[in-house]
Amino acid sequence: MTDSPQQRHTVLVEEIRRHDRAYYVEAQPTVSDREYDQLYHELLDLEAAHPQLRTSDSPSQRVGGEPIDGFETVLHAEPMMSLDNTYSQEEVREFVERVQKLLPGESLDWVVEPKADGIAISLRYEEGRFTVGATRGDGVAGDDVTANLRTIRSIPLRLQALGQADAPAVFEARGEVIMTRSGFEKLNQAREAEGESLFANPRNATAGSLKQLDPGLVARRPLDIVLYGSGEVADGPEIDSQLGLFNALGQLGFRTPEHTWHCKTAEEILAAIDELDRVRSGFDYDTDGAVIKLNRYDLRERVGATAKAPRWAMAYKYAPEQAQTRLNDITIQVGRTGTLTPVAELEPVFVDGSTISRATLHNEEEIGRRDIRVGDTVIIEKRGDVIPGVISVVRDLRPTGTEPFDMLAATGSQCPECGGAIHKDEEFVAWRCVNTDCPAQAAQRLEHFAARTALDIDCLGDIVSDKLVERGLAGSPLDLFDLTVEQLGPLNLGTDDEPRMFGEKNATKLVDSVERARTMGLDRWLFALAIPELGRTTAAALANFHKDVAAVARSEILQDVITLDELGEEIVRINPRSRKNKPATEQEKTEREQRYTARVGELREGIARLAKLGFAQVTKENGSRPPDYTTEIGPSVARSVLAWFGSETGRTTLGRLAKLGIDPQGTEPCESGGNEGVFAGKTFVITGTLPTMSRDESKAKIEANGGKTTGSVSKKTDYLLAGEKAGSKLAKAQTLGVHILDEQAFLKLCGE
Ligand code: IVH
């Protein structure tokens, strides 16, 4: 008798899951690719004929959803803590001693695991089905990235081993999403070919992938996951130790670290750390340290945790890997605002899993300070997030005849891209190409215009931008609005010998997204125009206080900021109480006093004018002296913005925007969140010192987004915005279960 469609479906699903697990989790494929494809296609056909069989946890449903507008915030059932870090073996010994002291008489055992360098994730399963996957966020709440995580084949959509009936009611697995090194290299190669910007390392590529709003795109990224922890567990397997956890995770169908060490003493732990360091270059993903965890859960509970990290675990970080190589040349790169950046061209060398042939040298002064010369043998270092840097020069190996680096000599006093004049402002360390028509700048401005946080234009990466400038199709970003699919389709991105066409499909995408950009918010537009010094956050602040681009160009607010800054300088200069300014005569003294008082009065009035608009906040009243204050945008950016709109480029841009009928207004967060703002009706308490914002700034942001602030934490408090040295308010918020945000999480909620 043949199977019913339902029975066949069950058999296929189980078989495919088994093969997925063997291939993606255990790395031991049990069937050939062809056999697998056959089963998979049979499943697709069966589900096409009987759509009712297509349940959400069918292997066919990994890429289900449509692109979304943004991520929901998920509150973690149990906080996702971080780890205390050390680079010192001595501190590892001290850590072991510390825990032993807290647990007198207990015989302790430890687990040493690789510290995967990826993005921390929590996977929630309810009744055995994968329901929610979230990023760590601030530890209390993260982004709901379920749809993106479903595309990762080593994440089971349904827990294995335990049958449906005895699946845990709730099981949260925690671990790290990673990108394999080989997958990362391939991804970057493909991006280079498509003219898209490259990721600096697998971790950034992972973070970038998880942030994608289109799961279809994420499905093509070589992501994987390693699990090493758990969150909420209800009616689940009895787990009483880290080793027990690994065992359970494995049984449920998760990938766990392939190497772990079970140790009894500090010496054994240190030996494990050493061994891990020797084998980790052979892993297919990046690791940056070892995590040492007390094995038994009952003992963990007895030692507890601080606000951020458990006392029973510690991360030992390996020193960033260094290598010695030869500096073959120093070339000069031209940035989008014309900045000339020296780049070290190195003899290729293998460091920590990848080949390095270029490193940043920052600027001429830095090169001079460290006396780095072409021909030198240099030590380079690969540091977590940043581009490799030159750490030092091996002076003993310097060949004869080398010369100190000199930007004018290296460039022949000309921009290496356009041959135009170069200039170094007194106050800046960087040289700049002053030709605004410089093709290198033009191409980078196009690319910047198209960036995701700017106007989000598809298919416009560095190669396409270069070609558009080279072929004279777009010298400035607004030229993009005149381009047609007919012009773009045949664009050759390759060479004459090896042509590679842009293609109609990509051209259509580009033209469509350029059209879409017409109606994007003022904040995105201001940022997209590549005005020197104007970042994404300051662009958003400008957009909040101005109706449109024209209003920014003739902004009285910005003019006021500059005037107040000048007044402040004058006040310092003429301060009669300063010793430098000791007046010679009584008459001069009176005059000075009068002038000083008048200027302080003007300053006060100006600040009050801006404060009324919500653009300035007084941070300290100083009696008769000038008050301390902050403005949404500082004087340097204000000067730069007004200077840009006053320049020929600025004036032309305004004229062209008007002709194109483009009049961007509002900000993106406002549009999506309605006029009330994301914090409408929410009550905040602020405590501690935030890393970059003053109290008043954060308060202004809360209010600008519809929320209000109060002084003390109660059950009615919705959020506690907590910085360094947060004290009793933090403790109280924790007891009351108030949602705690750090500055980063807060800014994210503000849409910045
Ligand atoms: S345990 C309460 N184990 O490192 C303990 N973390 O610096 C929570 N990480 O946020 C973490 N490998 O993203 C743990 N084997 C491992 C890990 C690991 C990587 C990451 C994780 C965590 C960060 C802390």
Q: How far apart are CA 308 and CA 722, in angstroms?
A: 12
- Residue 151 near residue 215 (C-beta atoms within 8 A): yes
Q: What is the pLDDT of residues 613-659, one digit of tens each?
A: 999 988 888 888 899 998 989 898 999 999 999 998 899 999 999 99
Q: What gap in Å lies between CA 135 and CA 122, rounded to an integer?
A: 6
> Is 0.85 topped by the overall pTM?
no
For residue 203 and ligand 1, the question of a CB distance below 6 A is answered with no
Instruction: Give residue 591's pLDDT.
Output: 86
**What is the number of other CB atoms lying within 10 angstroms of the CB of residue 324?**
13
| Ligand 1 atom closest to residue 117's alpha carbon, by position in its atom list | 19
CA of 82 to the centre of ligand 1 (A): 6
Assign 43 a pLDDT band (cuts: 50, 70, 90).
very high
Question: Per-residue pLDDT tens for 62-111?
Answer: 876 666 777 888 999 999 999 999 989 999 999 999 999 999 999 999 99
Q: Assess whether the C-beta atom of 55 lies below 6 angstroms from ligand 1.
A: no
pLDDT at 384: 53
Q: What is the pLDDT of residue 673?
A: 31
Annotated catalytic residue within 115, 293, 682, 729:
115
CB atoms closer than 10 angstroms to residue 651: 13
Q: How high does pLDDT run on average in the chain? A: 88
pLDDT at residue 233, as a whole number: 94
Ligand 1 mean position, distance from CA 232 (Å):
17
Band of residue 161 on the pLDDT scale cut at 50, 70, 90: low
How many CB atoms within 10 Å of residue 32? 9
Find out whether the beta carbon of 285 lies less than 6 Å from any atom of ligand 1.
no
User: Between 586-613 and 556-574, two packed helices, what is the crossing angle to 10 degrees?
Assistant: 150
Between residues 417 and 750, the one the model is more confident about: 417
- What pLDDT is attached to residue 185? 86
Section 542-549 average pLDDT: 94
Q: What is the mean pLDDT of residues 121-135?
A: 95
pLDDT at 129 over 70: yes
Q: How far is 746 from 687, CA to CA, in rounded Å?
A: 13
CA dist 305 → 11, 90, 262 (Å)? 46, 21, 22
What are the Cα distances from residue 278, in Å, to 273, 274, 659? Answer: 9, 6, 63
Instruction: Name the range with the highest mean pLDDT among 195-199, 380-384, 718-722.
Output: 718-722
Q: How high is the pLDDT of residue 65?
A: 64
pLDDT at 680: 73
Q: Is 176 in the pocket of ligand 1 (CB under 6 A)?
A: yes
In angstroms, the CA 469 to CA 491 distance is 12
Q: Which atom of ligand 1 sits closest to the CA of residue 113?
A: 15
**For ligand 1, is residue 172 a contact (CB within 6 Å)?**
no
Distance of CA 231 from the midpoint of ligand 1 (Å): 13
Q: Tens digit of pLDDT for each residue in 486-535?
A: 999 999 887 787 888 899 999 999 999 999 999 999 999 999 998 988 88
Tell me the longest C-alpha to C-alpha distance in the chain.
116
How do residues 267-295 score in pLDDT, each as one tens digit? 999 999 999 999 998 898 999 999 999 99
pLDDT confidence of residue 152: 95
Distance of alpha carbon 129 from alpha carbon 568, whole angstroms: 63
For residue 119, the ligand 1 atom closest to its alpha carbon is 13
| Burial class of residue 401, CB neighbours in 10 A (0-12, 13-18, 19+) | exposed
| 553 pLDDT more than 70 | yes
Higher-confidence residue of 184 and 693: namely 184
The pLDDT of residue 39 is above 80: yes
Atom of ligand 1 nearest to the CA of 136: 10
What are residue 291's phi and psi, to 5 degrees? -110, 130
* Tokens read off for 252: 């449920």
How remote is the CA of residue 260 from the centroid of ligand 1, in Å?
A: 14
- pLDDT of the residue at 387: 65
Q: What is the pLDDT of residues 338-361, one digit of tens each?
A: 889 899 999 988 876 667 888 888
Give the pLDDT of residue 674.
34
- Measured in Å, residue 749 CA sits from the centre of ligand 1 at 24
Q: Is 79 in the pocket of ligand 1 (CB under 6 A)?
A: no
Q: What is the per-residue pLDDT for 750?
A: 77
pLDDT tens readout for residues 445-483? 999 999 888 999 999 988 899 899 988 899 899 999 999
pLDDT of amino acid 668:
62
CA pair distance 441, 336, nearest whole angstrom: 4
| Distance of alpha carbon 598 from alpha carbon 139, whole angstroms | 51
Please confirm, yes or no, whether 701 is among the known catalytic residues. Answer: no
Write out the two tokens for 129: 């089905």
Share of the chain above pLDDT 90, in %: 53
Ligand 1 centroid to Cα of residue 292, in Å, is: 10
Tell me if 291 CB under 6 Å of ligand 1: yes
In short, whether 120's Cβ falls inside 6 Å of ligand 1 is yes
Query: In which band, very low, low, confident or very high, does the pLDDT at 672 lie, cut at 50, 70 and 90?
Result: very low
Query: Candidates 86, 110, 113, 115: which one to mutate for ligand 1, based on the most atoms within 8 Å of Cβ?
Result: 115
Quote the ligand 1 centre to 297 CA distance (angstroms): 17
Nearest CA owner, ligand 1 atom 9: 115
State yes or no: pLDDT of 719 exceeds 90.
no
Cα separation, 404 vs 369, whole angstroms: 10
Quick one: average pLDDT of 354-372?
86
Task: State the amino acid at position 553 in one-letter form.
Answer: A
Give residue-wise pLDDT tens across range 234-264: 998 899 999 999 999 999 999 999 899 999 9
- Report pLDDT for 575: 84
In the numeric block, the tokens 């290299």 are attached to: 185
